[in-house]
Structure 1
C-alpha cells in the first residue's frame, strides 16, 4: 500500500503544471491579441496619410527620389575615396625650389625649368586688371561657386555647340588648380572625376584668395614657364607687378591654351586672344570700353624669343626629373644649375614634324589622336623625344610612362631568349607553327590562318603569333620576362600566358633602350639625357660616363641572328614602309588586340627609334597597325636623319652602305669638284599645309594632273604592308 503523502504531493505537482500551462496559453493569447490591435491601430494611423490621384504621383516621386539620393550618396563616397587619397599625405605636387638652365648637345640654351625665388607675389601686389582679366577669361563666378560651376560649364557647352569662339572654359579655376596640385595631365574620365572632388576639397580647406594665389603660381604659361610671374619675365622682360593692361590681357589669355597663344610662337594669335580677353573684361563689367581702348590700339609686344620657340618641352620635363634626382643625391646646396643634355635640336625638330605630320594627314582616317617617339644613338644618348601632339594642351609625357602594350614588338624578347637558351637554334631553324593551347587559351595568327612547319626568320618576318607562343612553352615564360628586364624594360608586369604576344605594359623609352642593345653589339644601353651638371658658378656636380662599366647582356651570336631577322621584317615583312635607300634599316612592328596600340621599333647603325601611336583613353583605332603610320613616321625621321652623314653598318646585316662623300672636299687632281651636299630643311606643319594647298590649286589649274603638283616628303614602299 502506497504512502498517502506520496499521492498528495503528486496531485500538487500536477496542479502547478496545469496552472503554468494555463498561464502560458493566456499570455500568448493576450500577446497576439495586443499585436493585432497594435497593427490595426497602426493601419488606422497610416490611413490618415494615404493619398490618391495626382498627389500620390508626387509622393511616389519623392519616395523614389530619396531612395536614389541614398544610392547616389554611397556611389559618390566610393568615387571620392580615390580622389581624397591624393590629399592624405598633406603634400601637393612639389613646387620646384631650384632653377635649371638646359643646354643642347652643342652647348646652346634650349629651355629652363624650376621656379625662381622671385616668382611668387602676394595677391594684393598683382595688378588689379591682371586679376580681373584672368577671372573674366577663366571663371567669372569664381567668388560665387563652391569649386564646381554648373552655370559656367553649361554656358561653355552652349557656346561650343553654337560654334562661338568663346574665351571662357568649362572648368573652374579651382578645378584647374586641383589638377595642377594633385593630378597628372592625362586626359581621362577618371582624372576628371578626381578633379571635381578635389576642387570641392580645396574650397573647404582654403579661402578663395588663397586658391587664386596658388593658381597664378602653378599654372603652365607656355615656353616652359610655370606661374604668371615667370611668364611676365619670359615674355616681356619685366616683373608681373609692372605689366600694363595690354600685357596683362595677353598673359591672361595663356591659361587655357599656352602653346597655341604663346606670343613667341604666334604673335598674331596671341594678340587676337588678348583682344578677346579685353572684350571679356568689358562683358563681365570689370572695365569699361573706354578703359580698354588704349590697350586695343597698342597691343603688347613680347621679347624676341624665336630661338626658344621650339624648346623640346617633353624632353626638358624628363631631363628636369633626372637632374633633380642627381642633384639631390649629390648633396649640392646651390639653387641654380646648368645642365648639358644629349638632345639634338635639329633631330628633335624633325622628329616632332615626322610624328605630327603623319597624325595630321592620316590620323582622322585611322581614328588615332596621339603619338610618341624616342630617338637614341646606339650608346643610349637621347637625341630626340616627342611625348605627344601638343605640349600646351597636355604635358603628359607618353614617351616615358609605361602604360601601353607593345604587341608583336615584344617578340624581340621571345626569339632572343630562345636563341640564348637553345644553342642549336638559328634563324633558319624549322619549327612547328601549329596552335598549342595553354589551358583554355588558344592563340590565333593575325590572318586567322594556321601554319605548319616554318623557319624562325619567316615566322618573325610575317609576325606569326603561334611560333613565339610555342617558343615560350619550350623556354618558359619567366625567362622571357627576366631577359626583357635584363636588357631594358624597367617596369614590373605579370608573367601571363599571353606574355609572348606582348601582354605587358611598357614605355616608348624602354622599348628604344631594349632595341638599342642589338644596335650596340649586345651591350646594355640604358637611355640617358644628361651629360654634365654644374652650378651657375661652374662647380661640377655630375659627369656622365656612358662607356664605363659596359655590361654585355646578349651574346654576339644572338645579336647577329636578331638583326638579320629584323632586316627581313623591313625588306619583305610587315615593316616594308621602313625601307630607306642606302641605309641598313632593321626593326619590328607591333599591334595590340582591338587595335589600341601600334608600334614600330628599329634602328640603323646610326640611330635607334621607337614610335607609338594610339589614343589616351585607350579607344580602339580604325584598324591601325604598326606597319602603317608608326613605320611611316619612323621612316620619315630616319630618311632625314641619315642625310649627309656617314652611314654605319649593322652587325649581322649583309648590306653595304653607300660611301660617304664629304661636301666641299678638295677633288683629286684632274677630277671635277663635287657639288656641296646639304641636309634639306624640315617643313613645319603650317608650311606643309600651305604647300599642299598650293599643290591642290596647281592640280586644278592643270586639269587634275597630279604629277606636276605632287609633293613627296619621303619615299613610300611599292607594296602596302599588312602587319601586326
Structure 2
C-alpha cells in the first residue's frame, strides 16, 4: 500500500507539472528549414521536419488504425502501461540478458519523445511509466494519439506523419491511402532500417506486417488488406543535393541578418532557377580543362542569383569558388580602367597610341608582343592591349581606378601599383559579376541576393526589396562601356562567347595561364565564369577566350533562349557640360512667347511697358483694355541688353570660371530620389547674405 501511495503521489506531481495540450503542440524538438527554388520546388530541407500539425479529426482513419494496430493494440483499454507488453519485455530481457523488446505503449513512446531519451535503462523506464500515467490522467486518448502522430520520429529527419508523408510520398498526410499509411506506421520500430528510400524491399515487408496486424485487430478486412498495392506505391523523388548546395550554403547564413531569431519552422523562398542551375552545372563540367575547377554566377536584372556553381562536384568539394575563392581577374579588371577613363571624358572612338611604355620601372607588354600605333579606345579594349590600359591608368590615376572598382562592388583589397590595371589584385567571382551587371543596368548598382521571402507558420516575416536608387556612373558612361564590351565579343578576344544575339563581355587571363575568366551580359542576364586550379598551378592553353568563354556561351545560349532579343543602348546622350552652347539661348530677343524681366525681376512686355502684377501673389495681371482710360505710366528706362552678364545678375547666379577640364565634375553615388535642384536668388538676396 505504501508503494502504491508513493506511486500515486509521483503521478500526481508529474501530472500537475505537465504542460498544457496547446503547449505540447507548439514545442518542436528542433528547427526545420525548407528552402524553395524560384518555382516553389523544395531543393533542400535542413534540420528536423515537422510538417503541418493535423488535428485528430483530420488524421485519416487508416493512419490511426495502422498505428494503434502495430504499436499498441490495447491502446484504448490500458491506463498508460500495458501489463501484457511489460511482462513480455521483461521475459525477453531475462532470457537474453539485455533489452531487445520495449513493450512500450503509445503513451510511453510519447513521454519518451517529448520528455526523455531513448536509453534503455531501468531509471529511464521508471520515469517513462510515471509520465505515461500522468499523460493518461491529464489528456484524453484522442489527444494522446494526436500528439503522438504529430511528434513521433519516422526517419529522414521527419517528425510527425505529415512530414513523413511529404518526404516519402510528396503530399500531405491528410490524403494518405491504406498502403501509404501502412508504410509510415511501420517506420516507427526502426526508421533507418525500414525507410522506403533506403531499402524499398524492407519497407514493403514491414508494411505487409502492418496490414496483417490491422486485419487481425479487425481494423480492415482481408479483402482490403489484399487490395492494398504496396509494391505500386510511387515515392517522391529525392531532391538533388549537388550543386544547389553551393547556393544554399551562401544564402542561408544571411538569415541571421534578415530575420529575428526564432525556433519556428521556416520556409525560405529563393531566386534560384533550377533549369539554369542544371545548365550552369553542365557548362562548367563540360568545358573545364582536366584537373581544373570552375565557378559560375548568373544574375538577373535586379540582382537575383539564378544559378551558382562553386565547383565541379559539391560532394567531393564543398569549397565555394564562386563566393569564397579570391583569384586574379587578369584583363577583365580593365572594366574599371576604362570606366574611369570614360568618366574622365574619353570616348570609345578617341585615338590613343599603342606603344612601349614604362611606368615607375614597370614595362607592360601586349599578349601579341607587338604594338599597333594609333588605335581607337574601342579597338584597344577589344584586343585587350595592355600598354593602352597602362597609359589610361596613369592618366586618370591608379587610385581612381581602385576607387572605381570599389564603387562597383569589389570587396577585396585593391592595390594601386601600376600593374593593377592588368588585374593583379585578387577578386571574387560574385563581385566581378556584380560589377558587370551594374554596367548592364545603365550604371545603377546591382546587389546580388538569393532570398526573396521567408515565412514561419504561414506568416511572411521577411520580403526582399530591390534598391534601384544607387547610381554608380552616369548612364552615358555605362552606354559607352557597353559599346566597348560589345566590340570585344563581336571582333575581339571574346568571340567564343557569341550566342546569336547581342552580347557584351570581357575576357581575362592571368600570367602563365593560371586563371581564365569571361564575364558578360545579354538579354538581362549577367554571368561570370572562372576556371583554374585550386593550387594555382598553370594550365596549358587556358585563356579567358577559350574554355571560360565557351562555358559562358554553353550556359547563356539556353538560359536566354526564352527571352526576347535585346539590342544594347549604346547611343550616348551626353551631359550638358559636354554639349556646344546654343548662343540663341543666351543672346538676342526671345521669340518663344516668354516675357523678359527687368533687374528687379518684373516682367517687361515687348513695348517696354512693365506688366502689372499682383502685389500679394506676384502673378501677372491682364493689361487694361485699349478703350479704357489709362493712367500715364512713369517713364521707363529702355531694357538693358540681354547678354550673359544680365542673365546672371537677374537670376542671382554668379559667374564661375570654367573648370580646367572645361566641365563640372560628376556627382557620384547620389541616390536618384535625393537629387535636388539648386534654387537661385536675386542679387539683392546675395548681398544680404553674410560671407561664408
TM-score tier (shorter): 0.5 to 0.7
Deviations 1:493-539 (A, max 9, x none): 3332211000111111111110001111110001111111121x122
Q: What corresponds to 2:44 in structure 1?
A: 111
Q: Matches of 1:475 and 1:500 in 2, distance apart?
A: 11
Q: What corresponds to 2:258 in structure 1?
A: 326
Deviation at 1:97? Answer: 7.0
Deviation at 1:490? Answer: 1.9
Q: What corresponds to 2:404 in structure 1?
A: 483
Deviation at 1:629? Answer: 0.6
Q: Matches of 1:385 and 1:562 in 2, distance apart?
A: 26
Q: Matches of 2:477 and 2:510 in 1, distance apart?
A: 26
Q: Where do 1:443-522 residues align within 5 Å?
A: 443-522=364-443
Q: Which of 545, 566, 574 lines up with 2:465 in the alignment? A: 545
Deviations 1:565-585 (A, max 9, x none): 11111111001111122x111
Q: Where do 1:40-439 residues align within 5 Å?
A: 98-114=31-47, 230=157, 242-243=190-191, 304-308=236-240, 312-327=244-259, 331-359=260-288, 363-364=289-290, 368-421=291-344, 423=345, 425-439=346-360
Could you say if the C-alpha distance between residues 246 and 117 of structure 1 is closer, same or farther in structure 2, counting changes exceeding 3 Å?
Answer: closer
Q: What corresponds to 2:535 in structure 1?
A: 617
Deviation at 1:312? Answer: 1.3
Q: What corresponds to 1:587 in structure 2?
A: 505
Q: Which of 628, 647, 655 lines up with 2:546 in the alignment? A: 628
Q: Which of 455, 462, 486 lines up with 1:534 in the alignment? A: 455
Whether the aligned pair in 1 keeps the contact of 2:243 and 2:314 (CA below 8 Å) is no
Q: Count residues in correspondence.
A: 390
Q: What corresponds to 2:98 in structure 1?
A: none
Whether the aligned pair in 2 keeps the contact of 1:600 and 1:610 (CA below 8 Å) is yes
Q: What corresponds to 2:117 in structure 1?
A: none
Q: Highest Rg: 1 or 2?
A: 2
Deviation at 1:434? Answer: 2.0
Deviations 1:374-417 (A, max 9, x none): 11112211111111100000111111014111100100100001
| Richer in helix (by share) | 1
Q: What corresponds to 1:7 in structure 2?
A: none
Deviations 1:694-723 (A, max 9, x none): xxxxxxxxxxxxxxxxxxxxxxxxxxxxxx
Q: Matches of 2:360 and 2:559 in 1, distance apart?
A: 47
Could you say if the C-alpha distance between residues 647 and 116 of structure 1 is closer, same or farther in structure 2, counting changes exceeding 3 Å?
Answer: same
Q: Matches of 1:468 and 1:101 in 2, distance apart?
A: 48
Which secondary structure state, in structure 1, belongs to the residue aligned with residue 40 of structure 2?
Answer: coil
Which secondary structure state, in structure 2, belongs to the residue aligned with residue 498 of structure 1?
Answer: helix
Whether the aligned pair in 1 keeps the contact of 2:352 and 2:376 (CA below 8 Å) is yes
Q: Matches of 1:437 and 1:115 in 2, distance apart?
A: 63
Q: Matches of 1:372 and 1:552 in 2, distance apart?
A: 28
Whether the aligned pair in 2 keeps the contact of 1:402 and 1:491 (CA below 8 Å) is no
Whether the aligned pair in 2 keeps the contact of 1:519 and 1:605 (CA below 8 Å) is no
Q: Matches of 2:42 and 2:366 in 1, distance apart?
A: 50
Q: Matches of 1:626 and 1:97 in 2, distance apart?
A: 47
Q: Matches of 1:646 and 1:617 in 2, distance apart?
A: 41
Could you say if the C-alpha distance between residues 117 and 397 of structure 1 is closer, same or farther in structure 2, counting changes exceeding 3 Å?
Answer: farther
Deviation at 1:637? Answer: 1.2
Q: Matches of 1:405 and 1:457 in 2, distance apart?
A: 24
Whether the aligned pair in 1 keeps the contact of 2:48 and 2:158 (CA below 8 Å) is no
Deviations 1:413-446 (A, max 9, x none): 000011112x2x1011111222322223211111
Q: Matches of 2:189 and 2:263 in 1, distance apart?
A: 27
Q: Matches of 1:102 and 1:597 in 2, distance apart?
A: 33
Could you say if the C-alpha distance between residues 515 and 110 of structure 1 is closer, same or farther in structure 2, counting changes exceeding 3 Å?
Answer: same
Whether the aligned pair in 1 keeps the contact of 2:311 and 2:319 (CA below 8 Å) is yes
Which secondary structure state, in structure 2, belongs to the residue aligned with residue 242 of structure 1?
Answer: coil
Q: What corresponds to 1:554 in structure 2?
A: 473
Query: What TM-score, normalized to structure 1?
Result: 0.50
Deviation at 1:108? Answer: 2.3
Deviation at 1:230? Answer: 4.5
Query: What TM-score, normalized to structure 2?
Result: 0.52
Deviation at 1:588? Answer: 0.2
Could you say if the C-alpha distance between residues 434 and 97 of structure 1 is closer, same or farther in structure 2, counting changes exceeding 3 Å?
Answer: farther
Which secondary structure state, in structure 1, belongs to the residue aligned with residue 418 of structure 2?
Answer: coil
Q: Which of 495, 505, 516 lines up with 1:576 in the alignment? A: 495
Could you say if the C-alpha distance between residues 230 and 587 of structure 1 is closer, same or farther in structure 2, counting changes exceeding 3 Å?
Answer: same
Could you say if the C-alpha distance between residues 586 and 431 of structure 1 is closer, same or farther in structure 2, counting changes exceeding 3 Å?
Answer: same
Q: Does 1:600 align with 2:518?
A: yes
Q: Which moved more, 1:433-442 or 1:383-392?
A: 433-442
> Which runs of no fewer than 5 residues in structure 2 stay unpaired?
1-28, 52-154, 169-182, 201-232, 573-692
Whether the aligned pair in 1 keeps the contact of 2:47 and 2:157 (CA below 8 Å) is no
Whether the aligned pair in 2 keeps the contact of 1:100 and 1:337 (CA below 8 Å) is yes
Deviation at 1:314? Answer: 0.8
> Which runs of no fewer than 5 residues in structure 1 stay unpaired?
1-95, 119-227, 252-262, 268-300, 655-724
Q: Matches of 1:416 and 1:108 in 2, distance apart?
A: 40
Could you say if the C-alpha distance between residues 231 and 430 of structure 1 is closer, same or farther in structure 2, counting changes exceeding 3 Å?
Answer: farther
Deviation at 1:652? Answer: 1.1
Could you say if the C-alpha distance between residues 244 and 488 of structure 1 is closer, same or farther in structure 2, counting changes exceeding 3 Å?
Answer: closer
Whether the aligned pair in 1 keeps the contact of 2:30 and 2:47 (CA below 8 Å) is yes
